[in-house]
Structure 1
Amino acid sequence: MIYIYNCYAGTHSSALAAAYHLNKLPKDRLPTKEEILGIDIFNKLTPKDMGRIIYHGMDENGDKVYTFGRSNSKVVMPALTNLLTMMNGNEKLKDKVIFSNASPTVPLAMTFGGLFSRRLHIDFIGVPLLVKGAKQTYGNIISLVERTKKLGKTQMNLVEVLDNKDLEVNKTFS
């Protein structure tokens, strides 16, 4: 199976989701600032990286985990879904692919942090907001990943897109 977490820029919420999925972040407590900033691509991608599918590793079940930034395009997900469905139909791709939208987990602090840091290059304002937002939404990231893994095991489609808009967000993590 292939899991692909996606969000606007691919460098914040989807990076957190991939890191959690791969057990690179704690399950029993909030991650520290250092753990958040130590995620391989957290706050490191640029607009040129949007659309690039980035491999992060294999999980405990041997499933591959990727991320990508899809910007605000309305056509990227349908195009990828159609391409992968076509490849599956031609027996070129054997793995089930689960796209999971991490954007519904993004709190306001992370949105503004990304704007200040990535877009305006004002890291002394943006990075603390990103860390604050990552901590605020950590419970949501856990819920998103656990839901994604569960649906990945139960869905019958070879290509599944989870928009996660119905994900209950704003849970606090303790």
Structure 2
Amino acid sequence: MIYIYNDYGGTHTTSLAAAYHLKQLPQSERKLTTEEILNVKYFNQLTNEDFGKIIFHGNDEDGNSVYTIGRKRSKLVVPALKELTLLLQEKYHFDEKIVLSNTSPTVPIAMSIGGFFSRGLKIDFIGVPLLVKGAKQCCDNIFRLVENTKHVASTSFNENVIILENEMYK
């Protein structure tokens, strides 16, 4: 199975989701510390050149690959990934299940503003504290989103491509 966590920038909530998924963060809904947040691989480190790239984060305890992607404002990235997967499955008898899980609904306003300052304007002394505050606000939702993503993936036997919009985390 392949998991791909996606959102606007691909560097904040997606990185946290990948870290939770790979058990690199505490497996609970407790608030993360500033140090835990800032030590997450790729957190607040990607640039404009990384948008649209599928970034590998590691394999989980079941051997499933975990990736992230920043899709910007494009609503076509996820459907395109689904269509490409279906094409590869049909043409090459590729039978790996793909799970695309949207982390955008978990993003609080502090994280959006922090991302704009830090990644957009390169003003880290304003952006990073806001990103950390936002991550602390939403980490419990991200943890639950990851747990739900894994549950849906393990119980959906007839679907080769699963798209989770995760609107319940708004």
Q: Once superposed, what is the RMSD of the aligned Cα atoms?
A: 1.1
| Structure 2 counterpart of 1:27 | 27
Do structure 1's residue 4 and structure 2's residue 10 form an aligned pair?
no
Letter in 2 for 1:54: I
Query: How many pairs are equivalent?
Result: 168
Aligned counterparts of 2:94 and 2:40: Cα–Cα separation in 1? 29
Shift, 1:40, TM fit: 1.2
Report the AA paired with residue 18 of structure 1.
Answer: A
SS in 2 for 1:31: coil
Structure 1 unmatched ranges of 5 or more: 170-174
Q: TM-score normalised to the size of structure 1? A: 0.93
How far 1:77 sits from its partner (Å)?
1.2
Superposition map of 1:125-164 within 5 A: 125-155=126-156, 156-164=158-166
The answer to which structure has the higher helix fraction is 2
- Higher deviation after alignment, 52-61 or 31-40: 31-40
Q: Which amino acid aligns with 1:83?
A: L
Q: Where in structure 1 do 4 or more consecutive aligned residues deviate above 4 Å?
A: none
The answer for unaligned runs of 5 or more in structure 2 is: none
d(CA) in 1 for partners of 2:163, 2:63 = 20
Report SS of the residue matched to 1:5: strand
- Are 2:5 and 2:100, in contact at CA under 8 Å, matched by a contact in 1? yes
Residue of structure 2 in register with 1:172 after alignment? none
Q: Distance in 1 between matches of 2:145 and 2:18?
A: 11
CA distances 1:109-159 after superposition (whole Å, capped 9, x unpaired)? 000000000001110110000001001001100110011000101122101
> Following superposition of structure 1 onto structure 2, how do residues 1-174 of structure 1 map, counting pairs within 5 Å?
1-28=1-28, 29-155=30-156, 156-165=158-167, 167-169=168-170
Which 10-residue stretch deviates more, 86-95 or 131-140? 86-95
TM-score, length of structure 2 as denominator length: 0.95
Quote the offset at 1:30 in angstroms.
2.1
Q: Alpha-carbon deviations, 1:60-99, whole Å to 9, x = none? A: 1111100010111021111111010111112342210000
